[in-house]
Structure formats: C-alpha cells, structure tokens
Amino acid sequence: MKKLTIAIDGHASTGKSSIAKEIAIKYGYIYINSGSMYRAVTLFAIENKLLELLNDNIDLFIEKLKDISINFRFNQNNLISEIFLNNRNVEKEIGSLEVSNYVSKVAAIPEIRKEMVKLQRNIDRRIGVVMDGRDIGSVVFPNADIKLFLTASDTVRANRRFEEMINNGLSVSYDDILNNIRKRDKLDSSRSNSPLIIEKDAVVIDNSNMSIDEQIKQIKQLIDRKIAN
C-alpha cells in the first residue's frame, strides 16, 4: 500500500497533535510533533538561564545551543515518538505555560529553524509520516501528499487548552491561556522566516464546532482517496 507524507499545519492549540497521533496510529505511520522540537530548545534555554540572551545577544544564544541533542524514541506503550533532549525524556516539561510563553520567539530565529528543519527532513518517510507544525506543508515537505490546515476560533481553543491543563492538575488562568494563544498566533504568522501560511493545495479544516471523530472521518476520506489513486 502506498505510504503517504501528511503535513498538518495550523494555529496554536487547534488539536493538531491529537489528530496527527490518531491518524498515524490508524495507518501505522510515524508521528512527529515538530513543535515539540522548538519547545525542547526553549526548555533548554529556560533551564540554562539563557532567555535574557534572546533580547541582547542572539549570536551567543545560538552558540550556547550548539551542543544540544534532540531526538525521538518510539514508546511501545502509548505508540508515540517521544522527544528526548540530551537523552532525557522531556515530553511533560515542554507542555508548560512558561515554555509556551517563549517558544514562538525561539522558533522565529532562522538559525534554529534551519537546524530543526534538517532534523525533520531526516525522518525516514518510507513507512509513512504524519508531521504537525507551522511550516510543514510550506517548507519542510512542500511535496507532501496531503496538506491540512487546522484552525478554530481563539476562544474555543483557549477553552479546550484550559480544560486540558486543569484536568492535568495544573493551576492556570483562562485569560493567561487566551493571551498566550493570541500572542503566538500573531508571532507565528508575522515572522519573516517560514511564517504560518495556508498553502494553496492545503485542505482547511475549521474545527470550532467539530468533534475529533468528525475530523478524523474527513481526513481518513482524503487519505483513502489518495492511497487508491
């Protein structure tokens, strides 16, 4: 059966990773969350007190990141590729609001993007891959077999993220989350290097009023049609 490359881009907190994960499991493809790579770099910067350099010495900031290693290891139990920063599993830490608050700034640095894109393109695509992010269909895999663009109203997204964090036992405020989402949308869409854009050949899904199952159904139809052709 033909193995596809599926690019899922879209706004922050649109459920890209849940959808990507489910699709990857259904078809036996590899799932890579590219945002987690930018988040891992940001976590490293926070832990090593490098954030100040973001404002006054980007060159030194980049220099300090030279030796970090980022890779994915497949976890047989939850069927996802988990991210390791310098051989430490950081899946949980990268989801914090502190990381979310700085990640778009880090992700806007061209030198960092160049390295991440290199790693993303190194993934073996022979068994099929679903990758989600902001520039997957436009920069990383411009020839992807299927390009999706997920969006939803910012208040719906903030609500979902708020509930998810509260359910995970985190103490957060709805307003902080909404502000973070708005700020990231703006930064991600307006940066000069690889901004978030809707590719001409992308299928746009506004999931403000859609369940995950409805989205999966629509995406499965696209994939099955592509495989049959």
Nearer to ligand DC, 135 or 154 (CB): 135
Contact call for residue 184 and ligand DC (CB under 6 A): yes
Q: Which two tokens stand for residue 197?
A: 């854009």
Contact call for residue 150 and ligand DC (CB under 6 A): no
Nearer to ligand DC, 4 or 191 (CB): 191
Among 34, 138, 151, 180, binds ligand DC (CB under 6 A): 34
Work out the end-to-end distance of the chain between its first and last CA atoms, rounded to an integer number of angstroms. 11
82 to 141, contacts with ligand DC by CB under 6 A? 103-104, 107, 133-136
Contact call for residue 199 and ligand DC (CB under 6 A): no
- CB count within 10 Å of CB 224 equals 11
Nearer to ligand DC, 28 or 110 (CB): 110
Contact call for residue 38 and ligand DC (CB under 6 A): yes
Instruction: Evaluate whether 222 touches 146 at the Cβ level (below 8 Å).
Output: yes
- Smallest gap from residue 181 Cβ to ligand DC (A): 9
- Smallest gap from residue 229 Cβ to ligand DC (A): 27
Contact call for residue 161 and ligand DC (CB under 6 A): no
Nearer to ligand DC, 97 or 227 (CB): 97
Q: Which value, in Å, is the radius of gyration of the alpha carbons in the chain? A: 17
- Smallest gap from residue 66 Cβ to ligand DC (A): 20
Among 151, 188, 207, 215, binds ligand DC (CB under 6 A): 188
Site residues (vs ligand DC, CB under 6 A): 12, 34-35, 38-39, 103-104, 107, 133-136, 184, 188
